């Protein structure tokens, strides 16, 4: 096994080294480095796969876990590390000819890659906190990389909300350390058993949950995410990276911390409802946006809500379905953002009403985007449908199945509106020259293929990666296909009805200022605190 | 013996400092306030540290305290000077002579 | 030993009085004066603590406090000036 | 006692974030919240009469060194995040002219439409 | 020490004052005094390293950064007056009162819940650190032993954090367009006395900063605090001579190379035969020196970007664009 901290530190050191080379060598060196990283993560994954316990915990410099920092490799995190390496390879390939790409940009991308891998492998509370802080400041540079006027407001909004969330996180760690005296994930679990009264854990758990629920964009606290991911000055690779991968690391961390507190405190009912509401609200807001990148960012919010819903169903099938959905979502969301980047560069506008005729203009990009859209909406034989099927299959009562179909219906209508860009003829055709580099089209097409490939061989991939046998009975899968087509047709009519009324314009004006986000965070904190203290009140 | 002398010095330093702080509250005008308090405060600092040096006798501890005193004597007037200068530069009105 | 405790308490009260001056002070320069004298008082408090606990490294801390009180006061004084 | 004060200052900072409409006040409130958390972390590891963790004290008398080591990191985090926030603030003020969150949001919405 | 109660009360008063006062300039000075009290409080809670870091970074540098950032914008007092006389004022007051009541109740519930249920299950990490930090790492200061040897993985990211934070500040402040605020900082000649005597103090402060860096593992101090002391020499130097003297371009390159040195050195920590030899102590000193110089370059860049955001000083005009 290649030790974990090499995976974290080598990209960061390589990024800093890039600063001393000129930009031509930097671009070539980065792609070669990325290939090596993919091979190393593949090697680690196979080694771990054949280890019978599927888990390996390494400590830095050999100190025991109580005093040192440890990194944990298990099947899910090693697969995410490989996903990170692969996605970054495509992003670097996509950006090979970009005008804004110089050593500083490549250095920032390499460093944030090391940090994301660090968050996936982290096994220590304070280590996760400092990884997030560095990542927040890095992302605030990447968001405002092209330095135009509007993005200053989005940048400071993103930075301040995330810094406040991380202060909550640190307060949670402080409370935990004060009571349990240890910072390692597994050791905290053991120390918790010694606690005489589990109500002592309510306050730290509330602080941690508030911070993490802001990071994974749960209902009241998600308004920073679309503005940060789709700001005009962020290059499309950065938005693809943020929506595709960076949010996933906070989702993965949310899930691991929930596992630590699982036997003692339960918040799953709260997150079931909030996840479902986020999925609905995100799809509604995505429907009302005009800017294509904003549509994609709001659909990320709704997909995250769906994944939180799946994770908090507490069934094994739903868990593996949600994890598989995280991987699929990373692939097709970054494909969509990259294609949106190409489209907005060629058409020089981001307004969805003025973009038509993408199908004829750029066949490869159009094909890749259509594959990704079918993946997101969960069309049959595509990756999205398999993971959503598993989440639905594990939902016992029909209320939750109805809820999931409703959320999916919202996504379908949103992407029906989005796919209008393929048909029709281009209005002002003077800028339809495909001056952009051919490789970008191929990259988008290949990533679109992945979402198709992920759907067809879903069960085999799960067995290969997670050594897990997930049942797919054809009857209920066929029923799901029928429901998909029904909601597709329903989506057409609903879209026509909604667009006549002026609701969409009013929804678009809906916006939260920084004070109301802080107020929502405080309300979320007090709600979950009161909920927990009432639920575990001493009888 | 040195215990007693040290205690006396510290007592005197306390008196100086309380006068300095009293001076700050008594005078209405900024320039007078800064004139009184900074001078008295530096003197108080020197007597207090002298008391500590006397009580702790001749060793490295006293040498370090001596370094602190030298540094403080050098920089404290400078700091007060730059405050007064900044007030003067921003045309803060000088007090009429009857105050 | 009790004598140093008394001095410590008196210095703490003087520090609070200076804070009062800094909070009440009408002009910003009163506040900087409060800040400057307060950090001088704090250097004295550390010197006495170092003497009570007989730890010489506390004096390094005191010296750095006085250095940064000087730097802080000069910077704040420079940037509070008004040009109107 | 110190834990009580750190809770009070933490909620004070959060109150200022919710109520105060100026951007610079939000940054000041953020610094206050971070200082409150550092205060809580350190006061957790201290017991009355314990000595600093320098080797000339007996191991039983030493205070918990881990919070102090972590909080030096937290202070450096505080200063660099404040520096980045202030750099953005100076650009925000040069471009938008106002310092009020509500006005900024209105201007930003007009730009989108 | 019971005297800490006095400092805690002063801190709460200053926190409330710095939030409620209307002008940002005054709020910043209160923040400086607040963090000064915070630093002295840590000293009484026997955390000398921390009080040094808080005093150096919290009260002196943070206040200076705040003042520079709001420098150009607090001059228009008339604008502030008009805002606060409008009828909306009563609505805002009502909002503040409402939120005040909500915060008081929720805060009271949380605090009483905390003091009701807090309990301590023993501290294994504390037990192990305190007993074996001298034999394991050869350092006499447990705090330095932790953040340079036991948990060096965190310190790498902390150094990276400072590097990235300064990169971000330099990047945002070089934003070309936008109306330039009045440059009145660089052109003001400073007083002759401050220039002369601070000129006298440089060697002394430099020597002292280096002393703090080098024996960071023996007495409180170490890379971060020592680096900040060295950086204060640059700041005083700016007040003495109007010129910059140091080229930001070189400083940025220096900082990155120091960071690479830190990562390479901490990789040595992994070889077991390296660690139980007497290289351990030398490793600590070397790490402290590297971190110290890196922090010094970083904070110097931070200050130059902030102070010189408007004025590109003439001797570095050509090369001060991003390297």
Find the DSSP H helices in A357-473: 358-361, 363-377, 383-394, 398-418, 438-456, 458-466
- Tokens for A354? 């003025």
Using a CB-CB cut-off of 8 Å, the residues of chain D touching A150 are 108, 111-112
Instruction: Give chain D positions within 8 Å (CB) of A130.
Output: 73, 77
Chains in contact with C, where contact requires at least 3 CB pairs less than 8 Å apart = B, D, E
Cβ of A156 within 8 Å of Cβ of D92? The answer is yes
Pair of tokens at residue B62: 């006293």
Range scoring the smallest mean pLDDT among A336-340, A418-422, E211-215, E287-291: A418-422
Interface of E with D in 3-42 (CB under 8 A): 4-5, 8, 11-12, 15-16, 18-19, 24, 27-28, 31, 34-35, 38, 41-42
Q: Average pLDDT, stretch A235-261?
A: 90
Minimum-distance CB partner of D4 among E16, E111, E147: E111
pLDDT per residue as tens digits for the range E94-141: 888 999 999 999 999 999 999 988 888 888 888 888 888 888 888 888
Domains and their CATH numbers in chain D: 2-46+64-112 (1.10.287.3510)
User: Average model confidence (pLDDT) for chain E?
Assistant: 80
* Dihedral sign, Cα of residue A16, residue A19, residue A20, residue A22: positive
Residue A219 burial (CB < 10 Å; 0-12/13-18/19+)?
buried
Residues contacting C12, CB < 8 A, separation 6+ = C45, E3, E6, E7
Residues of E in contact with C32 (CB under 8 A): 29
Phi, psi of A58 (to 5 degrees): -115, 145
Task: Quote the CA–CA distance of A329 and A334 in Å, as a whole number.
Answer: 8
Tell me how far apart the alpha carbons of residues A99 and A95 are, in angstroms, rounded to a whole number: 9
User: Which of helix, strand or coil describes residue A196?
Assistant: coil
Quote the tokens at residue E314: 């003439």
Note the pLDDT of residue E316: 37
Q: How many CB pairs under 8 A join C and E?
A: 121
Across the interface, of B34, B65, B92, the residue whose CB is closest to C33 is B34
Question: Is C60 an interface residue toward D (CB < 8 Å)?
Answer: no
User: Cα–chain-centroid distance for residue A106?
Assistant: 21
Count helices and strands (H / E) in chain A.
Answer: 23, 2
- What is the C-alpha to C-alpha distance for residues A421 and A339, in angstroms, rounded to an integer? 12
CB contact under 8 A, B37 and C33: yes
Q: Do chains D and A touch (3 or more CB pairs under 8 A)?
A: yes
Q: Which helix (H) or strand (E) holds A74?
A: strand A70-74
* Selection from A336, A348, A217, A340 nearest residue A285 by Cα: A217
Nearest Cα of chain E lies from the Cα of B89 at a distance, in angstroms, of 10
- Residue A426, pLDDT > 70, answer no
What is the pLDDT at residue E72? Answer: 59
On chain A, the residues whose CB falls within 8 A of the CB of D73 are 126, 130
Kindly identify which residue of chain C lies nearest to residue D51, measuring between CA atoms.
Answer: C53
Query: What number of residues does chain A have?
Result: 539
State the DSSP code for A124.
B
CA dist B63 and C60 (Å) reads 12
How would you write D69-106 as a 3-class SS string? HHHHHHHHHHHHHHHHHHHHHHHHHHHHCCCEHHHHHH
Whether B49 sits inside 8 A of C47 (CB atoms) is yes
Question: For chain D, what is the largest distance between any 2 Cα atoms, rounded to a whole number of angstroms?
Answer: 68
Residue A321 has pLDDT above 80, yes or no: yes
CA E53/CA B70 separation, integer angstroms: 23
Considering only alpha carbons, which residue of chain D is nearest residue A148?
A: D95
pLDDT grade, residue E317 (50/70/90)? very low
Closest-CA distance, D95 to chain C, in angstroms, reads: 22
Test D105 with A511 for CB contact under 8 angstroms. Answer: yes
Question: Beta partners for A124?
Answer: A184
Predicted TM-score (pTM) of the model is: 0.93
Tell me phi and psi for residue A232, to 5 degrees. Answer: -55, -30
Spatial distance between the Cα atoms of A494 and A284, rounded to a whole number of angstroms: 12
Q: How far apart are CA A333 and CA B68, in angstroms?
A: 62
Q: Tell me the torsion sign for CA atoms E254, E210, E299, A13.
A: positive
What integer best gives the mean pLDDT of chain A? 86
Would you say residue E275 has pLDDT above 80?
no
Reported as a single tens digit per residue, the pLDDT across C14-66 is: 998 988 888 888 888 888 999 999 999 999 999 998 998 888 888 989 999 99
Decide if pLDDT at E321 tops 60: no
CB contact under 8 A, E11 and D5: yes
Strand partners, A351: A291
- Spatial separation of the C-alpha atoms in residues E274 and E150, rounded to whole Å: 15
In chain E, pLDDT over 70 holds for what percent of residues? 80
Of E134, E113, E162, nearest to E291 by C-alpha is E162
pLDDT at residue number E107: 93
**How far A150 CA sits from the closest chain D CA (Å)?**
7
Gap between the terminal Cα atoms of chain C = 54
Confidence of residue E322 (pLDDT cuts 50, 70, 90): very low
Residue A231's pLDDT band, with cuts at 50, 70 and 90, is confident
**Residues of chain C contacting E, Cβ within 8 Å:** 8-9, 12-13, 15-16, 19, 22-23, 28, 31-32, 34-35, 38-39, 42, 45-46, 49, 57-58, 60-61, 63-65, 67-69, 71-72, 74-76, 78-84
- Candidates D54, E195, B3, D58; CA nearest to C61 is D54
| Banded model confidence at residue B96, pLDDT cuts 50, 70, 90 | confident
Helices (H) and strands (E) in chain B, counts: 3, 0
Chain A residue whose CA is closest to E130: A67
Q: By CA distance, what is D54's nearest residue in C?
A: C57
Helix (H) or strand (E) holding A178: helix A151-180
E193 and B CB contact within 8 Å = yes
**A and E: number of Cβ contacts within 8 A:** 134
pLDDT band at A129 (very low <50, low <70, confident <90, very high): very high
Domain residue ranges in chain E: 142-323
Check whether A291 has a pLDDT greater than 90: no
The pLDDT, as a whole number, for residue A113 is 93
The label of the residue with tokens 């860009």 reads A421
Q: Which of A431-435, E246-250, E283-287 has the highest mean pLDDT?
A: E283-287
Closest residue in C to E185 (Cα) is C79
Quick check: B81 pLDDT over 60? yes
Rg over CA atoms, chain D: 19
- The Cα–Cα gap between A372 and A365 comes to 11
Which pair of structure tokens corresponds to residue E321? 């664009």
Q: Over 70: is that where the pLDDT of A171 sits?
A: yes
What distance in Å separates the CA atoms of residue D5 and residue E109, rounded to the nearest whole number?
15
């Amino acid at each position: 096994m290649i030790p974990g901290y090499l995976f974290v530190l080598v990209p960061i050191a390589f990024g800093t080294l890039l600063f001393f080379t000129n930009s031509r060598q930097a671009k070539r060196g980065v792609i070669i480095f990325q290939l090596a990283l993919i091979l190393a993560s593949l090697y680690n994954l196979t080694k771990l796969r054949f280890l019978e316990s599927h888990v390996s915990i390494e400590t830095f410099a050999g100190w025991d876990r109580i005093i040192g920092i440890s990194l944990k490799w298990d099947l899910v995190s090693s697969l995410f590390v490989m996903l990170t390496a692969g996605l970054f390879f495509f992003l670097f390939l996509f950006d090979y000819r970009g005008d804004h790409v110089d050593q500083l940009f490549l250095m920032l991308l390499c460093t944030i890659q090391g940090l994301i891998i660090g968050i996936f492998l982290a096994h220590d509370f304070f280590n996760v906190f400092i990884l997030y802080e560095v990542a927040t400041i890095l992302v605030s540079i990447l968001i405002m990389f092209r330095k135009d006027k509007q993005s200053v407001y989005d940048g400071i909004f993103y930075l301040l909300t995330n810094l406040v969330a991380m202060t909550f996180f640190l307060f949670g760690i402080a409370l935990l350390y004060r009571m349990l005296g240890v910072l390692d994930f597994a050791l905290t679990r053991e120390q918790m058993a010694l606690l005489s009264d589990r109500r002592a854990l309510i306050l730290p758990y509330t602080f941690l949950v508030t911070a993490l629920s802001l990071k994974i964009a749960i209902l009241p606290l998600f308004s920073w995410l679309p503005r940060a991911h789709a700001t005009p000055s962020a290059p499309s690779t950065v938005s693809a990276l943020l929506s595709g991968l960076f949010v996933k690391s906070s989702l993965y961390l949310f899930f691991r911390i929930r596992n630590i507190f699982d036997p003692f405190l339960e918040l799953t009912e709260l997150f079931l409802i909030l996840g479902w509401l986020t999925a609905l609200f995100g799809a509604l807001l995505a429907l009302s946006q005009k800017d294509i990148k904003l549509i994609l960012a709001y659909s990320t919010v709704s997909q995250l809500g769906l994944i939180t819903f799946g994770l908090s169903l507490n069934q094994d099938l739903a868990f593996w379905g949600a994890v598989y959905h995280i991987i699929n979502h990373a692939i097709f969301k970054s494909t969509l953002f990259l294609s949106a980047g190409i489209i907005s560069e060629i058409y020089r506008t981001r307004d969805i009403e003025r973009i038509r005729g993408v199908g004829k203009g750029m066949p490869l990009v159009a094909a890749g985007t259509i594959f990704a859209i079918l993946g997101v909406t969960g069309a049959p034989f595509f990756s999205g449908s398999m993971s959503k099927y598993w989440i639905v299959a594990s939902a016992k009562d029909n209320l939750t199945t109805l809820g999931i179909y409703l959320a999916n219906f919202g996504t379908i209508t949103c992407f029906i509106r989005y796919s209008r860009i393929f048909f029709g003829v281009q209005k002002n055709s003077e800028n339809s020259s495909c001056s952009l580099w051919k490789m970008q089209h191929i990259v988008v097409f290949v990533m679109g293929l992945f979402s198709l490939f992920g759907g067809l061989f879903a069960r085999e991939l799960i067995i290969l990666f997670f050594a897990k046998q997930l049942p797919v009975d054809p009857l209920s899968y066929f029923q799901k296909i029928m429901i998909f087509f029904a909601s597709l047709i329903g989506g057409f009519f609903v879209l026509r009805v909604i667009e006549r009324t002026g609701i969409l314009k009013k929804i678009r004006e809906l916006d939260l200022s920084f004070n109301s986000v802080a107020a929502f965070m405080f309300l979320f904190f007090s709600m979950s605190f009161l909920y927990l203290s009432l639920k575990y009140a001493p009888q | 013996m040195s215990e007693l002398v040290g205690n006396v010095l510290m007592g005197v330093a306390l008196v100086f400092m309380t006068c300095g702080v009293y001076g700050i509250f008594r005078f209405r005008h900024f320039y007078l306030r800064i004139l009184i308090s900074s001078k008295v405060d530096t003197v108080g600092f020197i007597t207090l540290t002298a008391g500590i040096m006397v009580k702790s006798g001749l060793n490295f501890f006293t040498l370090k305290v001596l370094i602190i005193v030298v540094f403080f004597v050098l920089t404290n007037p400078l700091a007060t000077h730059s405050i007064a200068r900044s007030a003067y530069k921003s045309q803060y009105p000088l007090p009429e002579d009857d105050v | 030993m009790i004598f140093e405790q008394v001095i410590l308490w008196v210095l703490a009260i003087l520090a609070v009085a200076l804070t009062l001056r800094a909070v009440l002070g009408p002009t910003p320069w009163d506040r900087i004066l409060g800040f400057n004298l307060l950090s001088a008082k704090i250097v004295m408090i550390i010197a006495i603590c170092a003497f009570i606990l007989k730890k010489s490294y506390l004096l390094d801390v005191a010296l750095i406090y006085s250095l940064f009180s000087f730097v802080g006061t000069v910077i704040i004084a420079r940037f509070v000036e008004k040009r109107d | 006692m110190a834990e009580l004060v750190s809770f009070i200052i933490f909620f004070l900072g959060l109150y200022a974030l919710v109520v105060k409409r100026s951007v610079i006040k939000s940054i000041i409130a953020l610094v206050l919240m971070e200082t409150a958390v550092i205060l809580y972390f350190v006061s957790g590891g201290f017991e009355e009469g314990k000595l600093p963790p320098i080797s000339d004290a007996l191991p039983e008398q030493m205070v918990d060194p881990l919070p102090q080591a972590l909080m030096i990191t937290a202070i450096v985090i505080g200063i660099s995040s404040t520096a980045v926030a202030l750099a953005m603030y100076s650009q925000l003020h040069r471009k938008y002219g106002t310092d009020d969150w509500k006005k900024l949001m209105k201007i930003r919405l007009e730009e989108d439409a | 020490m019971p005297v800490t109660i006095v400092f805690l009360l002063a801190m709460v008063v200053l926190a409330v004052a710095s939030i409620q006062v209307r002008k940002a300039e005054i709020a910043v000075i209160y923040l400086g005094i607040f963090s000064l009290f915070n630093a002295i409080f840590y000293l009484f809670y026997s955390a000398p390293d921390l009080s040094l870091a808080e005093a150096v970074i919290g009260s002196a540098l943070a206040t200076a950064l705040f003042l520079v950032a709001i420098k150009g914008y607090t001059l228009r007092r008339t604008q502030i007056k008009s805002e606060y006389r409008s009828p909306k004022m009563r609505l805002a007051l009502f909002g503040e009162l409402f939120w005040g009541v909500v915060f008081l109740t929720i805060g009271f519930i949380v605090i009483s819940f905390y003091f009701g249920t807090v309990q301590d299950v023993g501290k294994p990490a504390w037990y192990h650190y305190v007993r074996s930090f001298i034999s394991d790492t050869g350092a006499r200061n447990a705090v330095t032993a932790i953040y340079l040897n036991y948990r060096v993985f965190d310190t790498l990211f902390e150094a990276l954090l400072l590097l990235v934070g300064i990169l971000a500040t330099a990047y945002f402040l070089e934003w070309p367009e936008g109306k330039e605020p009045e440059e009145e900082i660089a052109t003001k000649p400073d007083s002759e006395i401050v220039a002369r005597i601070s000129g006298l103090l440089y060697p002394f402060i430099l020597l002292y900063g280096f002393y703090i860096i080098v024996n960071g593992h023996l007495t409180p101090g170490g890379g971060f605090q020592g680096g900040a002391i060295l950086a204060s020499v640059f700041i005083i130097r700016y007040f003495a001579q109007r010129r910059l003297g140091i080229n930001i371009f070189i400083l940025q390159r220096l900082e990155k190379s120091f960071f690479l040195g830190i990562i390479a050195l901490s990789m040595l920590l992994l070889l077991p035969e390296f660690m139980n030899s007497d290289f351990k102590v030398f490793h600590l000193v070397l790490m402290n020196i590297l971190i110290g110089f890196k922090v010094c370059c970083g904070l110097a860049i931070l200050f130059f970007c902030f102070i010189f955001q408007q004025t590109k000083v003439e001797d570095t005009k050509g090369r001060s664009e991003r390297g």
